[in-house]
Amino acid sequence: MQDVIPIAQQQYEYPVWLVFLDPGLNMTRYDNQIKILYEDNHLLGVYKPPGMLIQGDKTGDLSLLDWAKEWIKNRYKKPGNVFLGLVHRLDRPVAGVALFARTSKAAGRLSAQIRDRTMEKIYWAVVHGTPDPLEGRSELHLARIRNKSIVTGPNDPFGKLAVLHYQVLESRVPFSLMEVTLVTGRHHQIRCQLAALGNPVLGDVKYGSLQPLPSGTIALLSKRIVCRHPTKGLDVVIESPLPENWPWPFP
């Protein structure tokens, strides 16, 4: 792509031992795991550790959205509430790049990119077996039932079209490393579609993996996001580091 903001000029290694204004944010579990990957006046790209919520839920556990708001509040000494728009979602056991909007203008323009399918969201997954063919496109209709998605028919009123592209990067029996590019963004889409191919994500017992990973994590990583900057007209590339204990190459 042309007119790309180089990642190397936007890397940060801010410590995560900051003293938070909100004593309710318990950082102990995620010390030294969260990383700021990209920051400017409109965008914030953050590495989400596996097992951390992207947004608060009924568990009351710390979410990355809450953490990021508090990080901005402390870094820029902002009084009151901090605006931060959640642009997309990541499942709790998934690690990798999470993109937030720091302004309402950015939130609206990034949402339009997702709606128009011009934002690239690329994932890596370690899966059981090796897909055949090694590269392809998967189109299925998925329906959500509580906290799980199932493959359904095109005439199912609850089914939504789910599309992704995939390619095998490397294979070492009995597992493979895949790269997946999302076209649509359905609930548990990658997890459900790879399982439907016969290649569930390693550790994803909900979708057929027989080999759980520690702490209920799964071998799925939000590896890279490419978006158009909301005001500069440039492409921004934000890439995730590999998580600790990432299971590839598999021993």
Report the catalytic residues: 91
Provide the pairing of β-strand 85-86 with 148-152.
Answer: unpaired
Q: Which long-range contacts (CB under 8 A, 24 or more apart) does 131-134 make?
A: 131/166, 131/168, 131/176, 131/178, 131/197, 131/198, 131/199, 134/167, 134/168
Question: Quick check: helix, strand or coil at residue 211?
Answer: coil
State the DSSP string of 156-200.
-TT-EEEEEEEEEEEEETTEEEEEEEESS--TTHHHHHHHHTT-P
- Cβ atoms 164, 190 nearer than 8 A: yes
As given in the structure block, the two tokens for residue 50 are 């596996």
Give the Cα separation of 109 and 230 in Å (integer).
6
DSSP state, 63?
B
Which amino acid, one-letter code, is at 209? Answer: S
